[in-house]
Structure 1
Amino acid sequence: MSASRKPAAQPRRIGPALPVRMAPLLQRLRRDQSGNVAMLFGLLVIPLAAMMGLAVDFGRVYSVTSHTQAALDAAALAAGRTAQLNSSNPVATASAAATAYFNQAKPRDVVTSTLQFSPNSGNTAFTVTATSWVKTPFLSVLYSIAHKTASQGAPAGCQANGFGCVMVSSTATAALCPSSTCTGNSAGGSNVEISMMLDVTGSMCSPCTKIQAVQSAAKDLIDIVVWSDQSQYYSRVALAPFAEAVNVGALLAPLVRGVPTVNTSSTPQTFTTTTILNDVTQQPTKQWIKYSKASGSGTNTWVVSDRCVTERIGAQAYTDAAPAGASTYVGKGYFGTSTTTSCGVGNHSDTEVNSIQPLSTDTTMLKRRIDKLVSGGSTAGHLGTAWAWYLLSPNWNTVLQAAFPTSYAAGPYSDLTTLNSKGQPKLRKIAVLMTDGDYNINYCKGTEALNSNQTPQIKCNSENGLSQAQATSLCTAIKNAKIEVYTVGFEVSAAAKAFLTSCATDASHYYDATTEVALQAAFRDIALKIATLRLTN
């Protein structure tokens, strides 16, 4: 005897199936002649029909709302991505992309849909708002019974055949956020630390619109990558201007190159040709040196700069070891007979001129310092490269914050390879190295060396070799520390282009800018690569 088989359970139906399940009940009530059932049924027909009609109308409105939001999200992301790729005319191209995406994906069961496109002032966030009108015939009947007027601004199609409409308005915003640091939908990313090496040599004023282009480009990058909300993830920027040396400021200089002992035989600005100094033993502790000229007979005398430094020599030349003593100090700089020279650019009473700035989120201050950049001097690119690294190095936190107490400490290197809860690296460190020429000056004992490519001042060769060779070693060490390196060549030679390409993380991280417009586009593209496009509402 075969086992009896129960019918398979039918899936439970909800929503639109409700009127189907109610049909037998309504028919039974309509035929029932007992008591007051017929009268009650008659009274219930209208509200029941209204409820079913309202369910249909609200379902249509909900469907249009969901469909519209999905179309808007796609339109906003399309606008942001298009702006990333078209920096020359981001607003027009972004608006066109948003409109095209929305028109393709918008709901069809509406009377009409209109789109409004609104970029922010920096073209880093794009808001699209859609207004759609949905026909709601059952609601229109209730409105007419209640003597309600038609919705203000409703299109003509909503009035045809007595049908009314409901307006559906939705908004989506796509923003460029530093390494996914936006809050809102799809949030999650990394902390970001960026140092910018900026060439302020004399050739940057040939013509002077070149330095102006750099200033504009650097400020644009700051506007994009330094996000206003630093609560969830931070994004910070440091500045490393360079020419023939690096201006670290009068407070930091003695901490990183040692404190010269005051020369008791004369003031720093006064010397006598009969005074003989044994440079090898006394130069590290004296405010001035006297050494044989690079060419010809006789001697020159130089005074140590109170704010400018040169290259580190010895075992730590190509490391980011903290400057904690004679073996790890960076080099002093001797540039003439004045202690206050700004690294070959001339004397400036404004201490912010061409000075470094450790990591900060103060965009007003960062852009003010960029506006104060002036051009002059030769190209010691290895020094700019080294300081772009030092400003990202946690090993330098103590000494940098001693001179710049409001700056932020650099994060630990371990965070570069540690993933956060979102599956992203906890931290990204990025160096942006920009120059407009071949590196051409290096030092011996803090003075332009005999083997320098410019105008040697001293009769000894650089302990570390030529500037580009030193920069090559520094680039390798920086990349080995897991720091991402972007390089930008501004109207550079073929040799400089080859060097900068090799210095970058890879070939895609090098930008060959042949015009001022191309330079600004390069910085913006770097900023947009650092930033991530996210929906924020």
Structure 2
Amino acid sequence: MTSKHGIIAVAYALAAIPVIMAIGGALDFGRAYLLQSRLAEALDKAALAVGAETTTNTAILNQTLNNYFNANFNADGVGRTLNIASDITDSRITLRATGSVDTAFLKIINKNEIVVTVTTEVVRETTGLEVVLVLDNTGSMAANNRIGNLKVAARELVDILFQNEDRPENVRIALVPFVTTVNIGQENVGFIRTPIPENDYAPPRDPRWKGCVEARPFPHDTSDVFDINSDVAGLWDPYYWESEPVLDGFGGFFNVCENMWWLPNLRRGLSRPIATGRSGANFGTYPDRSTPPRFFNVDTIPPSTHGPNKACPDPITPLNNDRGRLRAAINQMQPWSGNGTMAHLGAVWAWRVLSPGPPFQEGRGRGAQGIKRAVIILTDGVNLVSSGRSNCSRFVDARYNSQYTGYGYLSENRLGTQSFTGATAVLNDRLSDVCTNLKRDDITVYTITFELNDATTQEVFRRCASEPKLYFPSPDSSTLQESFRAIGASLNALRIAR
């Protein structure tokens, strides 16, 4: 009697050969595809960098090509580059990279390597450009000289875009510093809703409204619409950080709040609560008009300021083509401590700056022939509302559970929550809404996180960008400069055309 078990085993072994080959071949080709993707990304960035150069010197162009390609190509575990060829003319840059992957399984059929080729073509264009830099000026930017490193990178971006012209005809740039508010400039007082009675200020150091505004109610805080006849989409309320009251208790008067800058005529037996410096209704007349108020600890020099304009950053620099003016505005930026981070307010004001509608009307708007519009948003921190001092909310008034922001105090529920973690979630959603609106308006969005390790914020900024590759995580100052250079190269009237 003949056994069939040996015959069946041989048959299974023979049948398994093509299956094993198919699986192994898929692994080899998968590594080849990964190599092709990495080559394409590195070649795109190298081509844009070459296109941004103003020189025609072949040696310099090839050096730029090799530097950017090598800095962005990661060959770990995928293969190697065999050759990079270039064809550079005044109007077109064509680059071709060839690489190979050593096979692991296909060697069985005498295929020892897989060769892949990637081609990138960049066309130099003469279109116009309108760009807004939305830059975090919060107090944390003082750490590790972040603000100084940001200034260096931002100035270089201006130089890349302006090239060898001080007033290029087709390029205009604007600057929007943000904290939890944005400064639209005192010259735009006509767009402010004056409170009745008017707010009191603290002369001589902080004598008047500086230019910052509160946010509109949702969804108008993410919109570019301006309607002079609307209560929610028309004039803005002025940003005003009231003088938070002193604590009358425990045998004396104590400063336990974040921004106490006005002292009434203190004497025991005053009615409670002691008034704040909010407006003429309870400020100049308290305790009586014959006793003038005394200003305490007023300071307008950043980073730590006190007074009605506390944590109000420098004003917006509207779209212009003046290199000197832009560099001066960048140099002037300082970190402003207090109250938190709200990147969406900077982003929405960038949209308003690009718009041809009021209050800023320098932008040519969507559909303007030959005009490319872009916004670059940078932050070093999580979107948040800073907490108030615990003794202030506990012993003075629960209203002061947070610091004052462009949405007032968190206790006022203007964000739809009184929770600090809830506020961060809402602020992230608002930024996502603004980014969606920008992209719908045909505005290219670039985003940068600087020395920021928070995964949630990184993901919000990645999704905010027009494409994932337009998000630039920058863990240190050198990477930040490279990020701005890469953005400058892609904006410098270039487009990738495969």
Query: Of 187, 190, 199, which residue of structure 1 is paired with 2:136?
Result: 199
Residue 309 of structure 1: aligned partner: 213
Alpha-carbon contact 2:136-2:179 (below 8 Å) kept: yes
Query: Of 178, 186, 190, which residue of structure 2 is paired with 1:255?
Result: 190
Residue 413 of structure 2: aligned partner: 461
Query: Which deviates further from its counterpart, 77-86 or 473-482?
Result: 77-86
Unaligned runs of 5+ in 1: 1-71, 89-99, 106-179, 181-185, 271-302, 402-408, 419-425
1:496 Cα deviation from its structure 2 partner: 0.8
Residue 435 of structure 1: aligned partner: 379
Aligned amino acid, residue 327 of structure 1: V
User: Structure 2 vs 1, CA of residues 381 and 470 (structure 1 numbering), >3 Å: closer, same or farther?
Assistant: same
Query: Of 331, 355, 372, which residue of structure 2 is paired with 1:393?
Result: 355
Residue 78 of structure 1: aligned partner: 62
Separation in 2 of the partners of 1:367 and 1:471? 27
The structure whose Rg is larger is 1
Separation in 2 of the partners of 1:187 and 1:513? 28
Separation in 2 of the partners of 1:432 and 1:508? 13
Matching of residues 200-239 of structure 1 within 5 Å: 200-207=137-144, 209-229=145-165, 234-239=170-175
User: Structure 2 vs 1, CA of residues 305 and 380 (structure 1 numbering), >3 Å: closer, same or farther?
Assistant: farther
Q: Percent identity?
A: 24
Alpha-carbon contact 1:309-1:333 (below 8 Å) kept: yes
Separation in 2 of the partners of 1:231 and 1:306? 29
User: Structure 2 vs 1, CA of residues 478 and 215 (structure 1 numbering), >3 Å: closer, same or farther?
Assistant: same
Alpha-carbon contact 2:402-2:410 (below 8 Å) kept: no
Secondary structure of the residue that 1:391 maps to in structure 2?
helix
1:77 Cα deviation from its structure 2 partner: 4.6
Deviations along 1:82-101, whole A, 9 cap, x unmatched? Answer: 4655789xxxxxxxxxxx99
Separation in 1 of the partners of 2:416 and 2:351? 18
Aligned amino acid, residue 347 of structure 2: T
1:485 Cα deviation from its structure 2 partner: 0.3
Aligned amino acid, residue 475 of structure 2: T
Separation in 2 of the partners of 1:449 and 1:257? 25
User: Structure 2 vs 1, CA of residues 189 and 213 (structure 1 numbering), >3 Å: closer, same or farther?
Assistant: same
Alpha-carbon contact 2:379-2:449 (below 8 Å) kept: yes
Confirm whether residue 346 of structure 1 aligns to residue 330 of structure 2: no
Matching of residues 80-479 of structure 1 within 5 Å: 81-82=65-66, 188-207=125-144, 209-229=145-165, 234-252=170-188, 254-263=189-198, 267-268=200-201, 305-314=209-218, 316-322=220-226, 324-325=228-229, 326-328=231-233, 329-337=235-243, 346=305, 354-377=314-337, 378-396=340-358, 399-400=359-360, 409-415=362-368, 426-441=370-385, 457=409, 459-463=411-415, 466-479=426-439
Alpha-carbon contact 2:173-2:320 (below 8 Å) kept: yes
Separation in 2 of the partners of 1:387 and 1:340? 27
Aligned amino acid, residue 217 of structure 2: I
Alpha-carbon contact 1:244-1:344 (below 8 Å) kept: no
Query: Which deviates further from its counterpart, 333-342 or 520-529?
Result: 333-342
Alpha-carbon contact 1:84-1:525 (below 8 Å) kept: no
Separation in 2 of the partners of 1:459 and 1:386? 24
Q: How many residues align?
A: 313
Alpha-carbon contact 1:227-1:235 (below 8 Å) kept: no
Residue 9 of structure 2: aligned partner: none
Alpha-carbon contact 1:247-1:343 (below 8 Å) kept: no
Unaligned runs of 5+ in 2: 1-55, 73-83, 89-121, 244-260, 262-297, 388-397, 418-425
Say what the alpha-carbon RMSD is for the aligned residues.
4.2
User: Structure 2 vs 1, CA of residues 81 and 331 (structure 1 numbering), >3 Å: closer, same or farther?
Assistant: farther
Separation in 2 of the partners of 1:371 and 1:429? 24
Alpha-carbon contact 2:304-2:336 (below 8 Å) kept: yes
User: Structure 2 vs 1, CA of residues 203 and 259 (structure 1 numbering), >3 Å: closer, same or farther?
Assistant: same
Separation in 1 of the partners of 2:463 and 2:399? 26
User: Structure 2 vs 1, CA of residues 344 and 327 (structure 1 numbering), >3 Å: closer, same or farther?
Assistant: farther
1:316 Cα deviation from its structure 2 partner: 2.8
User: Structure 2 vs 1, CA of residues 532 and 381 (structure 1 numbering), >3 Å: closer, same or farther?
Assistant: closer
Separation in 2 of the partners of 1:312 and 1:483? 22
Separation in 2 of the partners of 1:389 and 1:308? 17
Residue 443 of structure 2: aligned partner: 483
User: Structure 2 vs 1, CA of residues 189 and 81 (structure 1 numbering), >3 Å: closer, same or farther?
Assistant: farther
User: Structure 2 vs 1, CA of residues 508 and 238 (structure 1 numbering), >3 Å: closer, same or farther?
Assistant: same
User: Structure 2 vs 1, CA of residues 469 and 434 (structure 1 numbering), >3 Å: closer, same or farther?
Assistant: same
Separation in 1 of the partners of 2:303 and 2:59? 52
Separation in 2 of the partners of 1:196 and 1:203? 18
Separation in 2 of the partners of 1:430 and 1:206? 28
TM-score by length of 2: 0.54
Alpha-carbon contact 1:430-1:485 (below 8 Å) kept: yes
User: Structure 2 vs 1, CA of residues 188 and 205 (structure 1 numbering), >3 Å: closer, same or farther?
Assistant: closer
Separation in 2 of the partners of 1:341 and 1:309? 17
Aligned amino acid, residue 525 of structure 1: A
Secondary structure of the residue that 1:197 maps to in structure 2?
strand
Separation in 2 of the partners of 1:223 and 1:478? 25
Aligned amino acid, residue 220 of structure 1: E
Deviations along 1:492-520, whole A, 9 cap, x unmatched? Answer: 21111011001111110101111111111
User: Structure 2 vs 1, CA of residues 523 and 73 (structure 1 numbering), >3 Å: closer, same or farther?
Assistant: closer
Separation in 2 of the partners of 1:340 and 1:313? 30
